[in-house]
Amino acid sequence: TQLLEQSPQFLSIQEGENLTVYCNSSSVFSSLQWYRQEPGEGPVLLVTVVTGGEVKKLKRLTFQFGDARKDSSLHITAAQPGDTGLYLCAGIFGNEKLTFGTGTRLTIIP
Query: How many residues line the site for another protein (CB under 8 A)?
Result: 28
User: What is the Cα–Cα distance from 56 to 44, expressed in whole angstroms?
Assistant: 17
Residue number, 89 or 108, with CB nearest to another protein: 89
CB of 94 to another protein, least distance (A): 13
Contact status: 61 vs another protein (CB under 8 A): no
Tell me which of 41, 58, 77, 81 binds another protein, using CB under 8 A.
Answer: 41
When computed from its CA atoms, the radius of gyration of the chain, rounded to whole angstroms, is: 13
User: What is the Cα–Cα distance from 82 to 79, expressed in whole angstroms?
Assistant: 8
CB of 110 to another protein, least distance (A): 25
CB 72 within 8 A of CB 34: yes
CB 98 within 8 A of CB 3: no
Beta strands in 3-97 (DSSP E): 5-7, 10-14, 19-24, 31-37, 44-49, 55-58, 61-65, 71-76, 85-92
Residues 71-110 vs another protein: string with x where CB under 8 A? -----------------x-x-x---xxxxxxxx-------
Residue number, 17 or 67, with CB nearest to another protein: 67
Under the rule (CB under 8 A), what is the footprint of another protein?
2, 4, 6, 9, 30-33, 35, 40-45, 48, 50, 88, 90, 92, 96-103
